[in-house]
Amino acid sequence: MSHLTNFEVFLLLSILKIAVVLVITLMGVAYTVLLERKFLGHLQNRWGPSRVGPFGLLQPLVDGLKLFLKEDMMPLAVERPLFVLAPIIALGCALISIAVVPFGRTTMVHGVDLFQIANVNIGLLVVLGVTSIGVYGITLSGWSSNNKYSLFGSLRSTAQVISYELALGLSLVGIVLRAGSLSLRDIVNSQAAHGALSWNIFGGFQFVAFFIYLMAAYAETNRSPFDLPEAESELVAGYHTEYSSMKFAMFFMAEYANMITVACVATLLFFGGAASPFGHTFDHVASGAIASGIISIFWFVAKVFAFLLLYIWVRGTLPRFRYDQLMDFGWKFLLPVAMVNILATALALAYHG
Amino acid sequence: MELALFILFGLLAVAGALNLLFQRHPINSALSLVVVMMSLAVLYWSLGAEFLAAAQVIVYAGAIMVLFIFVVMLLNAGEEEQTHGSKIAYIVGIPGAGAIFCLLSFVFLSERSHLGSTALGGYLSNAVSNISEISHVLFTSLLLPFEVTSILILVAILGAVVLARKEL
């Protein structure tokens, strides 16, 4: 690669990273759906998909093909441009935030970090900003469908997402205070010293923040027990009632991509990202650059996977909230607790540090 | 590169602002305003004010505009009727807008040295962290305005509570 200039190397590696991460994320989305169906099936004492391929492993591909081949219905009364735009916004925003996630240890090749697409110094704010733009997908889909169930679904969803965004943002302030930076890489590095003991959730005493984040994130991604926007017993299918074929698939993928993003951010902020839980104890076992890179990715994926399982477990266990309970919970419980957590963290840091 | 970004998103901001005025449906106008906000955020970022850009996206585009759209959806506002408006608006409005534009650009151009300036992409070299700078300024020399603003917002919240309590 010696005859290429620095910029060309940067450009090529960036394109490569984007392509690889995008493909892996989309595959991850497809297989999270399968994971959910299998795991949920076992929770309910049945098999889940098991016919296509060994253990039903080819099911996501067949599902994708099915959705692709279905007729793309365009109802007559819809507001056409917004109706088409809404799923694109939803899926686009869901996929963009992966760009700032560092999914492995810092591995520089020709001055480019291999395991992170963009190391932005306000990475955390970028994630929050992109998520807050993602609301438009849901809002506009409900409104442009010209269907009262869709509208109800999207009104619920918008109100819910705006309310829980506050608690979500405030729960992360403690982490930012501890790390002293908004860059996700810096936040991960600040937890890498002593393995699991220096992770924010244990060593940083941020477990309150973690539970606030977890609940707010479930609400933010419209997952059960906060899945009121698509409560099928009340609203048919919520905001995507009128959607079919690939447009429906885009909403579906956006939901699962959001789950993955939330799991990634939780891993980065509270569980040390790609750092091993044993710290540097076993560094001598695999000390090569390639081996340690692979091991760091393994830890990251394992943590994200655990979060996804937790998501599904919660879905299989908890009943749905009522709407006023949801709002009360967000505003009257999570928000004050998040503020108290900020105060406590700030005082502790001022006292000790 | 920064110049291309500036031209692209500057034009997008102007186009969004014009579209905001010319659209007849409130939702389309609100969405044009979102486009303006987002383009402004990109402009801030290209000037090196990344925190301001993120705040612009999270607060304005992500929260306030969503509330606007929420209200429009809730009231189910239909298309506006096109009226010709009053003659005075045409006679006074257009020269007035021109005069304000000229005045503002005159002030900005003549007082350029006092207002300070920054180069496009000048701060993007990561030399200074602008978040710590902002917070330092905010909590030292600008502490009083900052606190007064927060009290102002608190008063607004209390006002909203008082207004809402009648119906509870």
- Chain B environment of A79 (Cβ under 8 Å): 27
The whole-chain average pLDDT of chain A stands at 83
DSSP state, residue B13: H
Do the Cβ atoms of A133 and B27 come within 8 Å?
no
In the numeric block, which tokens belong to residue B122?
Answer: 């000048």
In the numeric block, which tokens belong to residue B53?
Answer: 């850009």
Overall domain count for chain B? 2
Do the Cβ atoms of B73 and A129 come within 8 Å?
no
Residues B56 and B105 in one domain: yes
Residues B166 and B94 in one domain: no
Q: How confident is the model at residue B15 (pLDDT cuts 50, 70, 90)?
A: very high
Residues B47 and B121 in one domain: yes
Q: What is the pLDDT of residue B154?
A: 93
Residues B95 and B135 in one domain: no
Q: What is the pLDDT of residue B119?
A: 64
Q: What is the pLDDT of residue A288?
A: 73
Give the ipTM. Answer: 0.78
Residues B120 and B142 in one domain: no
Nearest chain A residue to B38 by CA distance is A133
Q: CB count, 10 Å around CB of B53?
A: 23
Model-level pTM greater than 0.95?
no
Residues B121 and B136 in one domain: no
Q: How far apart are CA B19 and CA B28, in angstroms?
A: 8
Residues B50 and B107 in one domain: yes
Give A277-324 pLDDT, tens digit per residue. 777 766 677 677 777 788 888 888 898 899 889 888 888 888 888 888
Q: Is the pLDDT of residue A237 over 90?
A: no
Domain that holds residue B142: 128-168
Q: What is the pLDDT of residue B135?
A: 81
Q: Which helix (H) or strand (E) holds B32?
A: helix B26-46
Phi, psi of A109 (to 5 degrees): -125, 115
Residues B6 and B65 in one domain: yes
Give B80-128 pLDDT, tens digit per residue. 666 666 777 778 888 888 999 999 999 888 887 777 666 665 555 555 5
Instruction: Give the domain CATH number at B57.
Output: 1.20.120.1200
Coil, strand, or helix at residue A108? strand
Q: What is the pLDDT of residue A226?
A: 81
DSSP state, residue A244: -
Q: CB count, 10 Å around CB of A255?
A: 22
Residues B74 and B6 in one domain: yes
Interface probe with A: pick from B57, B76, B125, B126, most Cβ of A within 10 Å: B57
Cis peptide before A49 (omega within 30 of 0): no
Q: What is the pLDDT of residue B128?
A: 57
Amino acid, single-letter form, for residue B91: I
Residues B27 and B62 in one domain: yes
Region A194-199 average pLDDT: 75
- Chain B environment of A128 (Cβ under 8 Å): 54, 58, 62
Interface probe with A: pick from B69, B124, B133, B136, most Cβ of A within 10 Å: B69
- Chain B environment of A155 (Cβ under 8 Å): 70, 73-74
Q: What is the pLDDT of residue B156?
A: 93
Q: Is the pLDDT of residue A187 over 70?
A: yes
Q: Is the pLDDT of residue B152 over 80?
A: yes
Q: How far apart are CA A204 and CA A174, in angstroms?
A: 9
Q: Does B129 touch chain A (CB under 8 A)?
A: yes
Q: What is the pLDDT of residue B122?
A: 57
Q: What is the pLDDT of residue B100?
A: 93
